[in-house]
A and B are shown apart, each in its own frame.
Chain A
Amino acid sequence: MLRLDVNFFDYIILAIYFALVVGIGVMARRAVATSEDFLLSGRSLPAWVTGLAFISANLGAIEILGMAANGAQYGMSTLHFYWIGAVPAMVFLGIVMMPFYYGSKVRSVPEFLLRRFNPATHLFNAVSFALAAVLTAGVNLYALALVINALIGWPIWVSIVVSAAFVLVYILLGGLSGAIYNEVLQFFVIVAGLVPLVIIGLHDVGGYSGLKEKVTHTALGAHSFSTWGGTNVGHWTNPLGDWIGIVMGLGFVLSFGYWTTNFAEVQRALSAKDLSAAQRTPLIGAFPKIFIPALTIIPGLIALVLVPNLNGKGAHDPTYNDAIPLLMNKFLPNGTLGIALAGLLAAFMAGMAANVSSFNTVFTYDIWQTYVVKGRRDRYYLTVGRVVTVVGILIGIFTAFIASGYSNIMNYIQLLFSYFNAPLFATFIIAMFWKRSTPWAGVSGLAAGTLGAAVMHFGGYHIAYFYKGGVFDPTHGTINAQMLNFYGAITAFVADVVVTVLVTMVTKPKPESELRGLVWGIKDPDAPDPALAVKPTWWASPKVLGGTALGIVLVLSVIFA
């Protein structure tokens, strides 16, 4: 379909980049002596590094290509995924939740649940997270292979094995530091690759006003530049549904659930060198997050205007997901093309590496050390971490090969894990702020919320309100899947809260002595005195950073309403 015109110069740029990717792993090797060095970077990194890694771990290529596709399909409403659907949660994580995570010295998100609740809650979360992480790593690998195949023409299996080998080398040698340093580098390279697309593209369509004018004449129409238009409850026309779904489902339940409890994200903050740096990790990450849509949604819209038959009915017509590769092909001269390609491939590998590096930590500490082989020396768990890394990547390769045969299976698996993710925030917020909530309430709430999400997902197909124009379609062709997803999350949250409260009423709470440092209002006497900690300068204090991020989002939301 679209074969990039890659020449010798581009290949030199790619070769330099990939040599450096491996070089980072080799050079980070000397900083690994303990399991915590390997799995948590020895909790030594400065805030700007962990902050950029925090956002980079989310800025995988699937996210970039997918958000450009959403831009072409939904228009500016896609901004909701970046602003209301991310920034408030990141600020909340940094200011409110990080003291519990970092201050309690847990080594993973599931470990927090173990200490706050009980092994059942812990296993429920650790196992579902570990499984989701390796399978997602495989999905990333497969998506990467598809893109390499389309752009450069390598066979699928070659791409899968070669890119898995790169990720394996830099994580196996450098551990989390290898992954995080590569994420930071990748952040700058992907931005350098996408900025030229936006500049040339906007120049070509006559600037932002020209783009706006031209999009009006496409299928998206004039409403596509309004983010909050058509979100009235009862008769929605916005492509993301009504405001209850957007604000409560996306902005509250899904966003807080992902950003504050997904270990692939929180792990970056736990690797920071002190509590203040850990708190600033998501806050520093929030600033790039606010402006990344300019590099994804805008190219999506430019592609919509410039590419004939985008998402056409023909078998060979390009899909929305091809928006960014198509523009690279159309606009970028050799040289800049090499940079953009390096950024894109790096983003795929970062997406995979974030999953592998969080999987090996959860498996080593939460499953192996906690339940299988306890009480060995640290050296032993360092080896386990390395072996698990290899195994995780092998499972990822295996998953990628399965996905290349049966792509539908992957969709079902991802759907299944979305049920597990939906109720997480409810459980965590109750865990941190209601000391009475009991160990068994933890796991019951999670199970109920997961079930609630699944029931809503299937039940929602029979509710006319979720269909375009409120008209039921027996073929399900006009269902608003995003909106149904948001409402499924709300259902999961409510089910989780109700069951957690009910079970708490009839079971025994933990004594307060076991909850020190884990729950609001119960201080840990062994924790370092916050008054002794190094304070950042006033403009870098968590409250100022968080408030500034929220303020920018608010102003931008009004401008782009």
Chain B
Amino acid sequence: MSETTGNNSAEEEIPQSAAARLFDIRVLIGSLFTLYGVMLIVAGFFTSKSQLKKASNININLWLGIGMLVLGLLFLLWWKLNPIKIAKPGQGDSGGPSRGGPSGPSRGGPSSGGASEGRPSDG
């Protein structure tokens, strides 16, 4: 019995995986950090004396804002330069271990972060 576990669902019409429709998280991280960065930089220009003293005389809002802005823009740049490639529709990713076959070889070039492949349909 152990061989067939989870295989049951794959018999009639095989439901199609919709995983290829997942959005790209890089846009979200990039946008959020860019927004936060701008907000903090603006706040950094209006930091009061007492707030500055609290942070050991480092204008941390300004510096963190710059850091977050740079990271946010880098994510947006990465996303622009290396967008997800829309591969052909999946072969039907049924629930269950019965799925197999080589995965769709659609990948972008190397980039930061160790792995920058576009998300394939992965049939």
Contacts and interface: CB of A to CB of B under 8 A. Distances in A.
A299 B8 CA distance: 52
A16 B20 contact: no
Given A192-B68, A273-B119, A185 B56 contact: no
B122 A105 contact: no
Contacts of B40: 335-336, 339
A448 B13 CA distance: 45
B99 interface: yes
A495 interface: no
A249 B100 CA distance: 39
The residue among B94, B96, B116 with the most chain A CB atoms within 10 A of its own CB is B96
Contacts, number: 229
B117 A273 contact: yes
B5 A111 contact: yes
A330 B54 CA distance: 7
Contacts of A86: none
A274 interface: yes
Nearest to B5: A370
A177 B25 CA distance: 10
Interface in B92-118: 93-103, 105, 107, 110, 113-118
Given A31-B19, A185-B25, A529 B5 contact: no
Interface in A430-481: none
A24 interface: yes
Nearest to A47: B115
A31 B18 contact: yes
Interface string B14-50: 0111111111010011001101100110011001000
A192 B118 CA distance: 27
Interface in B47-83: 47, 51-52, 54-56, 58, 60-61, 63-65, 67-68, 71
A42 B40 CA distance: 37
Contact of A545 (B5, B102, B114): B114
A528 B6 CA distance: 20
A181 B119 CA distance: 14
B56 A377 contact: no
Contact of A32 (B18, B44, B60): B18
A105 B118 CA distance: 22
B48 to A, nearest CB: 8
Contacts of A119: 2
Q: How large is the interface on A (under 10, 10 to 19, 20 to 34, 35 or more residues)?
A: 35 or more
B1 to A, nearest CB: 8
A28 B100 CA distance: 25
A339 B64 contact: yes
A322 interface: no
A195 B101 contact: no
A376 interface: yes
Nearest to A118: B2
Contacts of A46: 115-119
Contacts of A553: none
B78 to A, nearest CB: 10
A274 B78 CA distance: 22
Contacts of A188: 29, 33, 71
Contacts of B54: 330-333
B99 A105 contact: yes
Contact of A377 (B6, B9, B63): B9
Given A184-B25, A336-B40, A378-B95, A34 B119 contact: no
A230 interface: no
Contacts of B43: 9, 334-335
Interface residues of B, number: 66
Nearest to A380: B9
B100 A44 contact: no
Nearest to A185: B29
Nearest to A51: B114
The residue among B16, B23, B52, B115 with the most chain A CB atoms within 10 A of its own CB is B115
A34 B60 CA distance: 46
A181 B24 CA distance: 9
A106 B97 CA distance: 6
A109 to B, nearest CB: 14
A527 interface: yes
A334 B50 CA distance: 11
B40 to A, nearest CB: 5
A506 interface: no
A42 B102 contact: no
Interface stretch (A129-137, A404-412, A533-541): A533-541
Contacts of B100: 105, 526-528
B87 to A, nearest CB: 11
Contacts of A203: 56, 58
A23 B23 CA distance: 12
A73 B52 CA distance: 30
A23 B28 CA distance: 10
B64 A42 contact: no
Contacts of A331: 54-56, 60
A63 interface: no
B93 A536 contact: no
A181 B98 CA distance: 27
A47 B114 contact: yes
Given A16-B36, A273-B117, A534-B103, 5 more contacts: A9-B43, A33-B18, A196-B60, A339-B68, A534-B107
Interface of A: 9, 12-13, 16-17, 20, 23-24, 27-28, 30-37, 41-49, 51, 104-107, 111, 114-115, 118-119, 177, 181, 184-185, 188, 192, 195-196, 199-200, 203-204, 273-274, 277, 280, 284, 330-336, 339, 365, 369-370, 374-379, 381-382, 514, 526-529, 532-534, 536-537, 540, 545
13 contacts: A31-B22, A37-B19, A43-B93, A51-B115, A119-B2, A196-B63, A284-B114, A330-B54, A332-B60, A333-B55, A339-B40, A527-B100, A540-B114
The 9 tightest CB contacts between A and B, nearest first, are: A42-B19, A47-B115, A33-B18, A44-B19, A31-B22, A333-B51, A105-B97, A378-B9, A375-B8
